[in-house]
Structure 1
Amino acid sequence: MNMEVRPPLRIPDAKAFSTVEVVRVKHWHEHLFSFSVTRPNSFRFRSGEFVMLGMAVDDKPLMRAYSIASPAYADELDFLSVKVPDGPLTSQLQRIRNGDQLYLGRKPTGTLVADALLPGRRLFLLATGTGLAPFLSIARDPDIYEAYSQVILVHSVRHVSELAFRNELEAQLAGDPLVQDQALLQFHYIPTVTRESFRTTGRIQQLIQTEELFGHPVIGPKCFDPGQDRIMLCGSMEMIKEFSEYFEALEFQEGSNAAPGQFVIERAFVG
Protein backbone atom coordinates (compact mmCIF):
# COMPACT_ATOMS: atom_id res chain seq x y z
CA MET A 1 0.00 0.00 0.00
CA ASN A 2 1.28 3.46 -0.90
CA MET A 3 1.49 5.44 2.33
CA GLU A 4 2.89 8.58 0.69
CA VAL A 5 1.66 11.72 2.42
CA ARG A 6 1.28 14.71 0.12
CA PRO A 7 1.89 18.16 1.62
CA PRO A 8 -1.17 20.45 1.72
CA LEU A 9 -1.51 22.90 -1.14
CA ARG A 10 -1.00 26.52 -0.14
CA ILE A 11 -3.88 28.67 -1.31
CA PRO A 12 -2.55 31.64 -3.36
CA ASP A 13 -5.52 33.85 -2.48
CA ALA A 14 -7.99 32.41 0.00
CA LYS A 15 -10.65 34.92 -1.06
CA ALA A 16 -10.44 33.93 -4.74
CA PHE A 17 -9.60 30.22 -4.58
CA SER A 18 -10.41 27.05 -2.66
CA THR A 19 -8.41 23.84 -2.55
CA VAL A 20 -10.11 20.69 -3.82
CA GLU A 21 -9.02 17.06 -3.92
CA VAL A 22 -8.85 14.88 -7.02
CA VAL A 23 -11.15 11.87 -6.59
CA ARG A 24 -11.18 10.36 -10.10
CA VAL A 25 -9.08 10.50 -13.27
CA LYS A 26 -9.82 8.84 -16.63
CA HIS A 27 -7.59 8.92 -19.70
CA TRP A 28 -9.76 8.56 -22.80
CA HIS A 29 -7.10 9.04 -25.43
CA GLU A 30 -3.44 9.97 -25.64
CA HIS A 31 -4.53 13.61 -25.94
CA LEU A 32 -7.67 13.63 -23.77
CA PHE A 33 -8.55 13.01 -20.13
CA SER A 34 -11.23 13.85 -17.59
CA PHE A 35 -11.11 14.20 -13.83
CA SER A 36 -13.36 14.84 -10.86
CA VAL A 37 -12.67 16.85 -7.71
CA THR A 38 -14.43 17.41 -4.42
CA ARG A 39 -16.99 20.20 -4.42
CA PRO A 40 -16.78 22.89 -1.72
CA ASN A 41 -20.04 23.21 0.21
CA SER A 42 -20.41 26.87 -0.76
CA PHE A 43 -19.71 26.37 -4.49
CA ARG A 44 -22.73 27.11 -6.72
CA PHE A 45 -22.92 27.38 -10.51
CA ARG A 46 -25.33 27.41 -13.43
CA SER A 47 -25.18 24.63 -16.00
CA GLY A 48 -22.79 25.66 -18.78
CA GLU A 49 -20.57 27.96 -16.70
CA PHE A 50 -16.79 27.76 -16.36
CA VAL A 51 -14.45 28.30 -13.45
CA MET A 52 -10.75 28.99 -12.98
CA LEU A 53 -8.88 25.81 -12.13
CA GLY A 54 -5.20 25.13 -11.64
CA MET A 55 -2.29 23.87 -9.62
CA ALA A 56 1.08 24.89 -8.33
CA VAL A 57 3.71 24.87 -11.10
CA ASP A 58 7.25 25.85 -10.09
CA ASP A 59 5.82 26.90 -6.70
CA LYS A 60 3.44 29.37 -8.36
CA PRO A 61 -0.30 29.02 -8.97
CA LEU A 62 -1.12 28.50 -12.66
CA MET A 63 -4.81 28.88 -13.48
CA ARG A 64 -6.91 28.32 -16.61
CA ALA A 65 -10.62 28.53 -17.39
CA TYR A 66 -12.37 25.13 -17.50
CA SER A 67 -16.02 24.46 -18.27
CA ILE A 68 -17.75 22.46 -15.55
CA ALA A 69 -18.95 19.13 -16.96
CA SER A 70 -20.97 17.91 -13.98
CA PRO A 71 -24.63 18.75 -13.34
CA ALA A 72 -25.32 21.60 -10.93
CA TYR A 73 -26.69 19.21 -8.29
CA ALA A 74 -23.67 16.83 -8.22
CA ASP A 75 -21.51 16.33 -5.14
CA GLU A 76 -18.35 16.37 -7.27
CA LEU A 77 -17.09 18.65 -10.04
CA ASP A 78 -16.13 17.09 -13.38
CA PHE A 79 -13.77 18.53 -15.99
CA LEU A 80 -12.59 17.49 -19.46
CA SER A 81 -9.15 18.48 -20.73
CA VAL A 82 -6.79 18.04 -23.64
CA LYS A 83 -3.20 16.99 -23.06
CA VAL A 84 -0.73 19.51 -24.45
CA PRO A 85 2.80 18.07 -24.12
CA ASP A 86 4.43 21.48 -23.69
CA GLY A 87 1.41 23.26 -22.21
CA PRO A 88 2.32 25.22 -19.05
CA LEU A 89 -0.63 23.74 -17.14
CA THR A 90 -1.86 20.63 -18.97
CA SER A 91 1.61 19.11 -19.21
CA GLN A 92 1.44 18.87 -15.40
CA LEU A 93 -2.31 18.49 -14.94
CA GLN A 94 -2.47 15.32 -17.04
CA ARG A 95 -0.32 13.59 -14.40
CA ILE A 96 -2.66 14.14 -11.46
CA ARG A 97 -3.72 11.18 -9.31
CA ASN A 98 -6.41 10.55 -6.76
CA GLY A 99 -5.62 12.48 -3.62
CA ASP A 100 -3.80 15.34 -5.33
CA GLN A 101 -4.96 18.87 -4.61
CA LEU A 102 -5.88 21.60 -7.08
CA TYR A 103 -6.91 25.23 -6.89
CA LEU A 104 -10.54 26.06 -7.71
CA GLY A 105 -11.88 29.56 -8.27
CA ARG A 106 -14.79 30.63 -6.09
CA LYS A 107 -16.75 32.50 -8.78
CA PRO A 108 -17.98 30.52 -11.80
CA THR A 109 -19.28 32.56 -14.71
CA GLY A 110 -20.01 32.38 -18.43
CA THR A 111 -22.36 33.17 -21.28
CA LEU A 112 -23.08 29.58 -22.39
CA VAL A 113 -26.17 29.35 -20.19
CA ALA A 114 -29.89 28.83 -20.74
CA ASP A 115 -30.65 32.27 -19.27
CA ALA A 116 -29.05 33.81 -22.38
CA LEU A 117 -31.54 32.11 -24.72
CA LEU A 118 -35.10 32.99 -25.66
CA PRO A 119 -37.78 30.29 -25.21
CA GLY A 120 -37.86 27.68 -27.98
CA ARG A 121 -38.73 24.09 -28.86
CA ARG A 122 -35.48 22.45 -29.99
CA LEU A 123 -32.12 23.03 -28.29
CA PHE A 124 -29.06 22.12 -30.37
CA LEU A 125 -25.78 21.72 -28.49
CA LEU A 126 -23.00 21.79 -31.11
CA ALA A 127 -19.55 20.79 -29.86
CA THR A 128 -16.13 19.91 -31.18
CA GLY A 129 -13.46 18.25 -29.02
CA THR A 130 -13.50 19.27 -25.37
CA GLY A 131 -16.30 21.71 -26.21
CA LEU A 132 -18.44 18.79 -25.06
CA ALA A 133 -17.76 19.63 -21.39
CA PRO A 134 -20.39 22.33 -20.66
CA PHE A 135 -23.02 20.34 -22.57
CA LEU A 136 -22.52 17.37 -20.26
CA SER A 137 -23.74 19.69 -17.52
CA ILE A 138 -26.56 21.26 -19.54
CA ALA A 139 -27.88 17.90 -20.78
CA ARG A 140 -28.33 16.76 -17.17
CA ASP A 141 -30.17 19.90 -16.05
CA PRO A 142 -33.85 19.12 -15.29
CA ASP A 143 -34.87 22.69 -16.15
CA ILE A 144 -33.63 22.21 -19.73
CA TYR A 145 -36.19 19.47 -20.33
CA GLU A 146 -38.94 21.70 -19.02
CA ALA A 147 -37.88 24.49 -21.38
CA TYR A 148 -37.38 22.42 -24.58
CA SER A 149 -39.21 19.50 -26.17
CA GLN A 150 -35.94 18.18 -27.68
CA VAL A 151 -32.30 18.47 -26.65
CA ILE A 152 -29.90 17.46 -29.44
CA LEU A 153 -26.21 17.09 -28.59
CA VAL A 154 -23.86 16.90 -31.60
CA HIS A 155 -20.22 16.06 -30.85
CA SER A 156 -17.58 16.12 -33.60
CA VAL A 157 -14.11 14.63 -33.06
CA ARG A 158 -11.27 13.32 -35.22
CA HIS A 159 -11.04 9.80 -33.76
CA VAL A 160 -13.59 7.44 -32.21
CA SER A 161 -11.53 7.19 -29.02
CA GLU A 162 -12.07 10.94 -28.49
CA LEU A 163 -15.82 10.46 -28.01
CA ALA A 164 -15.64 10.97 -24.25
CA PHE A 165 -18.65 9.81 -22.21
CA ARG A 166 -20.03 8.09 -25.32
CA ASN A 167 -21.58 5.17 -23.43
CA GLU A 168 -23.52 7.41 -21.05
CA LEU A 169 -24.72 9.65 -23.87
CA GLU A 170 -25.74 6.77 -26.15
CA ALA A 171 -27.73 5.36 -23.24
CA GLN A 172 -29.62 8.69 -23.15
CA LEU A 173 -28.33 9.43 -19.63
CA ALA A 174 -29.92 6.30 -18.17
CA GLY A 175 -29.21 6.15 -14.47
CA ASP A 176 -29.16 9.91 -14.00
CA PRO A 177 -31.22 10.49 -10.84
CA LEU A 178 -33.05 13.58 -12.07
CA VAL A 179 -33.35 13.51 -15.86
CA GLN A 180 -33.30 9.88 -17.01
CA ASP A 181 -37.05 9.67 -17.66
CA GLN A 182 -37.21 12.93 -19.60
CA ALA A 183 -33.93 12.28 -21.43
CA LEU A 184 -35.21 8.95 -22.72
CA LEU A 185 -37.87 10.82 -24.67
CA GLN A 186 -36.25 14.20 -25.33
CA PHE A 187 -32.46 13.77 -25.49
CA HIS A 188 -30.70 12.82 -28.75
CA TYR A 189 -26.96 12.24 -29.09
CA ILE A 190 -25.29 12.53 -32.50
CA PRO A 191 -21.54 11.74 -32.46
CA THR A 192 -19.58 12.22 -35.66
CA VAL A 193 -15.98 11.35 -36.53
CA THR A 194 -13.90 13.05 -39.22
CA ARG A 195 -10.79 10.87 -39.61
CA GLU A 196 -11.97 7.32 -39.00
CA SER A 197 -14.73 5.02 -40.15
CA PHE A 198 -17.81 5.40 -37.96
CA ARG A 199 -21.57 5.22 -38.33
CA THR A 200 -21.65 9.02 -38.72
CA THR A 201 -18.73 10.72 -40.41
CA GLY A 202 -17.90 14.28 -41.40
CA ARG A 203 -17.88 17.67 -39.80
CA ILE A 204 -21.03 19.15 -38.32
CA GLN A 205 -21.34 21.44 -41.33
CA GLN A 206 -21.62 18.38 -43.59
CA LEU A 207 -24.37 16.88 -41.44
CA ILE A 208 -26.30 20.13 -41.79
CA GLN A 209 -25.87 20.25 -45.56
CA THR A 210 -26.99 16.65 -46.04
CA GLU A 211 -29.82 17.12 -43.50
CA GLU A 212 -28.45 14.10 -41.59
CA LEU A 213 -28.45 16.26 -38.49
CA PHE A 214 -32.23 16.53 -38.67
CA GLY A 215 -32.99 12.87 -39.37
CA HIS A 216 -34.65 10.38 -37.04
CA PRO A 217 -35.09 10.64 -34.06
CA VAL A 218 -34.97 14.45 -34.32
CA ILE A 219 -38.45 15.83 -34.94
CA GLY A 220 -39.27 19.00 -36.85
CA PRO A 221 -38.01 20.91 -39.88
CA LYS A 222 -34.95 19.67 -41.79
CA CYS A 223 -33.18 22.96 -41.24
CA PHE A 224 -32.52 25.47 -38.48
CA ASP A 225 -35.53 27.65 -37.73
CA PRO A 226 -34.92 30.89 -35.75
CA GLY A 227 -38.55 30.77 -34.66
CA GLN A 228 -38.20 27.57 -32.65
CA ASP A 229 -34.55 26.46 -32.58
CA ARG A 230 -31.99 27.57 -30.02
CA ILE A 231 -28.28 26.91 -30.43
CA MET A 232 -25.31 26.60 -28.08
CA LEU A 233 -21.81 26.46 -29.57
CA CYS A 234 -18.59 25.31 -27.92
CA GLY A 235 -15.36 24.23 -29.58
CA SER A 236 -12.41 25.65 -31.48
CA MET A 237 -12.22 29.34 -32.33
CA GLU A 238 -12.52 28.49 -36.02
CA MET A 239 -15.69 26.49 -35.39
CA ILE A 240 -17.22 29.25 -33.28
CA LYS A 241 -16.45 31.91 -35.88
CA GLU A 242 -17.77 29.84 -38.77
CA PHE A 243 -21.00 28.91 -37.04
CA SER A 244 -21.61 32.37 -35.60
CA GLU A 245 -21.48 33.81 -39.12
CA TYR A 246 -23.66 30.96 -40.39
CA PHE A 247 -26.41 31.51 -37.83
CA GLU A 248 -26.31 35.27 -38.15
CA ALA A 249 -26.86 34.83 -41.90
CA LEU A 250 -29.96 32.79 -40.99
CA GLU A 251 -31.14 35.78 -38.89
CA PHE A 252 -30.38 34.18 -35.54
CA GLN A 253 -29.42 36.75 -32.89
CA GLU A 254 -26.62 36.05 -30.41
CA GLY A 255 -27.87 36.17 -26.84
CA SER A 256 -26.38 37.19 -23.52
CA ASN A 257 -27.43 37.24 -19.88
CA ALA A 258 -28.63 40.81 -20.32
CA ALA A 259 -30.32 40.32 -23.71
CA PRO A 260 -31.39 36.72 -24.48
CA GLY A 261 -31.20 35.60 -28.11
CA GLN A 262 -31.40 32.54 -30.32
CA PHE A 263 -27.81 31.28 -30.09
CA VAL A 264 -24.96 31.60 -27.60
CA ILE A 265 -21.24 30.91 -27.41
CA GLU A 266 -18.74 30.96 -24.57
CA ARG A 267 -16.77 34.10 -25.36
CA ALA A 268 -14.18 33.46 -22.65
CA PHE A 269 -12.57 30.83 -24.86
CA VAL A 270 -12.86 32.75 -28.13
CA GLY A 271 -10.79 35.83 -27.50
Structure 2
Amino acid sequence: MSAFHREKVLSVHHWTDTLFSFRATRNSAFRFHNGQFAMIGLEVDGRPLLRAYSMASANHEDELEFFSIKVADGPLTSRLQKIRQGDTILVGRKATGTLIADNLIPGRRLLLLSTGTGLAPFASLIKDPEVYDKFDSIVLVHGCRQVSELAYGEELVAKLREDELFGPLLTEKLVYYPTVTREPFRNRGRITDLITSEQLFDDIGQPALDIESDRIMMCGSPGMLEELRQMFEARGFAEGSGNEPGHFVIEKAFVER
Protein backbone atom coordinates (compact mmCIF):
# COMPACT_ATOMS: atom_id res chain seq x y z
CA MET A 1 0.00 0.00 0.00
CA SER A 2 3.04 2.27 -0.26
CA ALA A 3 1.50 3.87 -3.38
CA PHE A 4 -1.22 5.40 -1.22
CA HIS A 5 -1.70 7.79 1.63
CA ARG A 6 -4.06 6.58 4.35
CA GLU A 7 -6.40 9.44 5.18
CA LYS A 8 -9.00 9.76 7.92
CA VAL A 9 -12.59 10.67 7.02
CA LEU A 10 -13.52 13.94 8.76
CA SER A 11 -17.14 14.36 7.64
CA VAL A 12 -19.74 12.90 5.27
CA HIS A 13 -22.74 14.72 3.77
CA HIS A 14 -25.52 12.82 1.96
CA TRP A 15 -27.15 15.28 -0.45
CA THR A 16 -29.68 12.91 -2.04
CA ASP A 17 -30.22 9.16 -2.19
CA THR A 18 -27.72 9.07 -5.08
CA LEU A 19 -25.16 11.79 -4.18
CA PHE A 20 -22.81 12.38 -1.27
CA SER A 21 -19.63 14.27 -0.47
CA PHE A 22 -16.97 13.72 2.15
CA ARG A 23 -13.91 15.44 3.55
CA ALA A 24 -10.72 13.74 4.70
CA THR A 25 -7.31 14.60 6.06
CA ARG A 26 -4.63 15.54 3.55
CA ASN A 27 -1.03 14.36 3.73
CA SER A 28 1.28 17.34 3.49
CA ALA A 29 3.22 15.56 0.73
CA PHE A 30 0.15 15.26 -1.54
CA ARG A 31 0.35 17.92 -4.25
CA PHE A 32 -2.05 18.61 -7.11
CA HIS A 33 -3.19 21.24 -9.59
CA ASN A 34 -6.76 22.44 -9.21
CA GLY A 35 -8.92 20.40 -11.59
CA GLN A 36 -6.88 17.18 -11.29
CA PHE A 37 -7.93 13.77 -9.98
CA ALA A 38 -6.35 10.95 -8.00
CA MET A 39 -7.09 7.28 -7.46
CA ILE A 40 -8.95 6.91 -4.20
CA GLY A 41 -10.80 4.10 -2.51
CA LEU A 42 -10.87 1.55 0.27
CA GLU A 43 -8.90 -1.44 1.38
CA VAL A 44 -11.08 -4.51 0.81
CA ASP A 45 -9.85 -7.95 1.86
CA GLY A 46 -6.33 -6.61 2.09
CA ARG A 47 -6.34 -5.12 -1.40
CA PRO A 48 -7.00 -1.59 -2.65
CA LEU A 49 -10.33 -1.04 -4.46
CA LEU A 50 -9.96 2.22 -6.36
CA ARG A 51 -11.58 4.64 -8.78
CA ALA A 52 -10.51 8.01 -10.18
CA TYR A 53 -11.96 10.94 -8.23
CA SER A 54 -11.44 14.62 -8.91
CA MET A 55 -10.51 16.72 -5.91
CA ALA A 56 -13.39 19.07 -5.11
CA SER A 57 -11.16 20.89 -2.64
CA ALA A 58 -8.60 23.41 -3.84
CA ASN A 59 -4.86 22.79 -3.64
CA HIS A 60 -4.48 25.50 -1.00
CA GLU A 61 -6.86 23.75 1.42
CA ASP A 62 -5.63 21.61 4.30
CA GLU A 63 -8.33 18.96 3.81
CA LEU A 64 -9.42 16.89 0.81
CA GLU A 65 -13.00 16.88 -0.43
CA PHE A 66 -14.67 14.51 -2.89
CA PHE A 67 -18.14 14.48 -4.48
CA SER A 68 -19.50 11.06 -5.38
CA ILE A 69 -22.39 9.20 -6.87
CA LYS A 70 -23.93 6.22 -5.08
CA VAL A 71 -24.40 3.01 -7.05
CA ALA A 72 -26.14 0.22 -5.15
CA ASP A 73 -24.16 -2.57 -6.81
CA GLY A 74 -21.05 -0.55 -7.69
CA PRO A 75 -17.85 -2.32 -6.59
CA LEU A 76 -16.50 0.80 -4.87
CA THR A 77 -19.35 3.28 -4.43
CA SER A 78 -21.64 0.69 -2.80
CA ARG A 79 -19.02 0.57 -0.03
CA LEU A 80 -17.78 4.16 -0.13
CA GLN A 81 -21.26 5.60 0.44
CA LYS A 82 -21.30 3.89 3.87
CA ILE A 83 -18.13 5.56 5.19
CA ARG A 84 -18.35 7.50 8.42
CA GLN A 85 -16.27 10.00 10.33
CA GLY A 86 -13.10 8.26 11.55
CA ASP A 87 -12.95 5.68 8.76
CA THR A 88 -9.83 5.33 6.60
CA ILE A 89 -9.67 5.89 2.84
CA LEU A 90 -6.79 5.39 0.43
CA VAL A 91 -5.57 8.30 -1.69
CA GLY A 92 -3.06 7.73 -4.47
CA ARG A 93 0.15 9.70 -4.11
CA LYS A 94 0.03 11.06 -7.66
CA ALA A 95 -2.57 13.42 -9.11
CA THR A 96 -3.17 13.82 -12.83
CA GLY A 97 -5.80 15.09 -15.29
CA THR A 98 -6.41 17.39 -18.23
CA LEU A 99 -8.59 20.09 -16.64
CA ILE A 100 -5.75 22.55 -16.15
CA ALA A 101 -5.81 26.12 -17.42
CA ASP A 102 -2.34 25.71 -18.93
CA ASN A 103 -3.80 23.13 -21.35
CA LEU A 104 -5.90 25.89 -22.93
CA ILE A 105 -4.92 28.59 -25.39
CA PRO A 106 -5.29 31.98 -23.65
CA GLY A 107 -8.82 33.35 -23.95
CA ARG A 108 -11.23 35.75 -22.29
CA ARG A 109 -14.18 33.57 -21.22
CA LEU A 110 -13.93 30.13 -19.58
CA LEU A 111 -16.91 27.78 -19.86
CA LEU A 112 -16.95 25.02 -17.22
CA LEU A 113 -19.48 22.44 -18.44
CA SER A 114 -20.48 19.63 -16.08
CA THR A 115 -23.16 17.07 -15.38
CA GLY A 116 -23.74 15.26 -12.09
CA THR A 117 -20.61 14.67 -10.03
CA GLY A 118 -18.60 16.02 -12.98
CA LEU A 119 -18.94 19.28 -11.07
CA ALA A 120 -16.18 18.17 -8.66
CA PRO A 121 -13.07 19.42 -10.53
CA PHE A 122 -14.77 22.76 -11.13
CA ALA A 123 -15.49 23.05 -7.40
CA SER A 124 -11.71 23.05 -7.09
CA LEU A 125 -11.07 25.39 -10.02
CA ILE A 126 -13.47 28.14 -8.93
CA LYS A 127 -11.45 28.34 -5.71
CA ASP A 128 -8.26 29.05 -7.68
CA PRO A 129 -7.30 32.76 -7.77
CA GLU A 130 -5.06 32.14 -10.82
CA VAL A 131 -8.05 31.08 -12.91
CA TYR A 132 -9.69 34.43 -12.20
CA ASP A 133 -6.48 36.14 -13.28
CA LYS A 134 -6.46 34.30 -16.61
CA PHE A 135 -10.06 34.99 -17.68
CA ASP A 136 -12.40 37.97 -17.75
CA SER A 137 -15.46 35.77 -17.21
CA ILE A 138 -16.04 32.25 -15.90
CA VAL A 139 -19.34 30.47 -16.60
CA LEU A 140 -20.01 27.40 -14.45
CA VAL A 141 -22.75 25.22 -15.95
CA HIS A 142 -24.07 22.25 -13.94
CA GLY A 143 -26.63 19.98 -15.55
CA CYS A 144 -28.67 17.45 -13.57
CA ARG A 145 -31.89 15.52 -14.01
CA GLN A 146 -33.58 16.78 -10.83
CA VAL A 147 -33.47 20.00 -8.84
CA SER A 148 -32.38 18.19 -5.65
CA GLU A 149 -29.18 17.08 -7.40
CA LEU A 150 -28.05 20.71 -7.70
CA ALA A 151 -27.77 21.17 -3.92
CA TYR A 152 -24.02 20.56 -3.60
CA GLY A 153 -23.17 23.11 -6.29
CA GLU A 154 -25.64 25.68 -5.04
CA GLU A 155 -24.24 25.53 -1.51
CA LEU A 156 -20.68 25.65 -2.82
CA VAL A 157 -21.27 28.83 -4.81
CA ALA A 158 -23.32 30.44 -2.04
CA LYS A 159 -20.52 29.91 0.50
CA LEU A 160 -17.89 31.25 -1.90
CA ARG A 161 -19.96 34.38 -2.52
CA GLU A 162 -19.80 35.04 1.23
CA ASP A 163 -16.05 34.38 1.42
CA GLU A 164 -13.84 37.37 2.18
CA LEU A 165 -11.34 36.52 -0.59
CA PHE A 166 -13.51 34.89 -3.23
CA GLY A 167 -16.72 36.88 -2.77
CA PRO A 168 -15.49 39.90 -4.76
CA LEU A 169 -13.97 37.64 -7.46
CA LEU A 170 -17.24 35.74 -7.92
CA THR A 171 -19.26 38.95 -8.03
CA GLU A 172 -17.01 40.33 -10.76
CA LYS A 173 -16.33 37.24 -12.87
CA LEU A 174 -18.32 34.08 -12.05
CA VAL A 175 -21.68 33.20 -13.57
CA TYR A 176 -23.28 30.07 -12.08
CA TYR A 177 -25.85 28.39 -14.33
CA PRO A 178 -27.61 25.29 -12.94
CA THR A 179 -30.00 23.48 -15.28
CA VAL A 180 -32.23 20.42 -15.02
CA THR A 181 -33.88 18.17 -17.59
CA ARG A 182 -36.71 16.36 -15.79
CA GLU A 183 -38.38 18.91 -13.51
CA PRO A 184 -39.63 22.49 -13.66
CA PHE A 185 -36.81 24.93 -12.90
CA ARG A 186 -35.71 28.40 -13.92
CA ASN A 187 -33.19 26.83 -16.35
CA ARG A 188 -34.32 23.80 -18.31
CA GLY A 189 -32.55 21.66 -20.87
CA ARG A 190 -29.47 19.69 -21.83
CA ILE A 191 -26.19 21.57 -21.99
CA THR A 192 -25.65 20.76 -25.67
CA ASP A 193 -29.08 22.11 -26.61
CA LEU A 194 -28.65 25.23 -24.46
CA ILE A 195 -25.41 26.08 -26.26
CA THR A 196 -26.66 25.21 -29.76
CA SER A 197 -29.83 27.26 -29.35
CA GLU A 198 -27.85 30.05 -27.62
CA GLN A 199 -30.40 29.92 -24.78
CA LEU A 200 -27.56 29.67 -22.26
CA PHE A 201 -25.97 32.90 -23.47
CA ASP A 202 -29.31 34.70 -23.70
CA ASP A 203 -30.09 33.69 -20.11
CA ILE A 204 -26.80 35.01 -18.73
CA GLY A 205 -26.75 38.10 -20.93
CA GLN A 206 -23.46 37.28 -22.65
CA PRO A 207 -22.39 36.86 -26.31
CA ALA A 208 -22.82 33.51 -28.05
CA LEU A 209 -19.98 31.03 -28.47
CA ASP A 210 -16.87 32.56 -30.09
CA ILE A 211 -13.74 30.59 -30.95
CA GLU A 212 -11.59 33.70 -30.55
CA SER A 213 -12.50 34.30 -26.91
CA ASP A 214 -14.04 31.11 -25.50
CA ARG A 215 -12.15 28.30 -23.79
CA ILE A 216 -13.93 25.25 -22.46
CA MET A 217 -13.47 22.56 -19.83
CA MET A 218 -15.83 19.58 -19.67
CA CYS A 219 -16.49 16.82 -17.15
CA GLY A 220 -19.52 14.56 -16.88
CA SER A 221 -21.28 11.64 -18.50
CA PRO A 222 -19.48 10.03 -21.48
CA GLY A 223 -22.49 10.70 -23.73
CA MET A 224 -22.51 14.40 -22.92
CA LEU A 225 -18.76 14.69 -23.43
CA GLU A 226 -18.82 13.04 -26.85
CA GLU A 227 -21.76 15.13 -27.99
CA LEU A 228 -20.07 18.36 -26.93
CA ARG A 229 -16.74 17.33 -28.42
CA GLN A 230 -18.34 16.74 -31.82
CA MET A 231 -20.21 20.04 -31.61
CA PHE A 232 -17.10 22.05 -30.72
CA GLU A 233 -14.90 20.34 -33.30
CA ALA A 234 -17.53 21.01 -35.98
CA ARG A 235 -17.12 24.71 -35.13
CA GLY A 236 -13.33 24.55 -35.46
CA PHE A 237 -12.42 24.21 -31.79
CA ALA A 238 -9.38 21.99 -31.12
CA GLU A 239 -8.91 19.73 -28.10
CA GLY A 240 -5.97 20.61 -25.89
CA SER A 241 -3.57 18.51 -23.84
CA GLY A 242 -0.42 18.84 -21.79
CA ASN A 243 1.59 18.58 -25.01
CA GLU A 244 -0.38 21.11 -27.03
CA PRO A 245 -2.90 23.60 -25.60
CA GLY A 246 -6.25 23.89 -27.37
CA HIS A 247 -9.65 25.56 -27.23
CA PHE A 248 -11.18 22.87 -24.99
CA VAL A 249 -10.18 20.05 -22.64
CA ILE A 250 -12.13 17.01 -21.47
CA GLU A 251 -11.79 14.96 -18.30
CA LYS A 252 -12.47 11.36 -19.22
CA ALA A 253 -12.03 9.89 -15.73
CA PHE A 254 -15.59 9.83 -14.39
CA VAL A 255 -16.90 7.66 -11.58
CA GLU A 256 -20.01 5.71 -12.52
CA ARG A 257 -19.36 2.66 -10.38
Normalising by structure 1, we get a TM-score of: 0.90
User: Does structure 1 residue 159 correspond to structure 2 residue 146?
Assistant: yes
Residues 98-177 of structure 1: pairs in structure 2 closer than 5 A: 98-171=85-158, 173-177=160-164
Distance 2:39 2:158 in 1: 31
> Where does residue 14 of structure 2 map in the other structure?
27
User: Does structure 1 residue 247 correspond to structure 2 residue 232?
Assistant: yes
Deviations 1:183-231 (A, max 9, x none): 1110010000111111111111222233221135443x22x11110000
- Note the residue ranges of structure 2 that are not aligned, 5 or more in a row: none
| Bigger-Rg structure (1/2) | 1
User: Does structure 1 residue 233 correspond to structure 2 residue 222?
Assistant: no
Name the CA shift for 1:25/1:38 in 2 (closer, same or farther; >3 Å): same
CA contact (8 A) 1:172 1:189 kept: no
1:259 to 225, 235, 244: 244
> Where does residue 209 of structure 1 map in the other structure?
196
- Note the residue ranges of structure 1 that are not aligned, 5 or more in a row: 1-11
Q: How many residues align?
A: 255
Distance 2:245 2:119 in 1: 22
Higher relative contact order (CA 8 A, sep 6+): 2
Tell me the percent identity.
Answer: 53
Residues 2-41 of structure 1: pairs in structure 2 closer than 5 A: 12=1, 14=2, 16-41=3-28
Structure showing the higher helix proportion among its residues: 2
Normalising by structure 2, we get a TM-score of: 0.95
Distance 1:44 1:238 in 2: 31
RMSD of aligned C-alpha atoms? 1.6
Distance 2:119 2:157 in 1: 14
> Where does residue 96 of structure 1 map in the other structure?
83
The residue type paired with residue 106 of structure 2 is P
The residue type paired with residue 250 of structure 1 is R
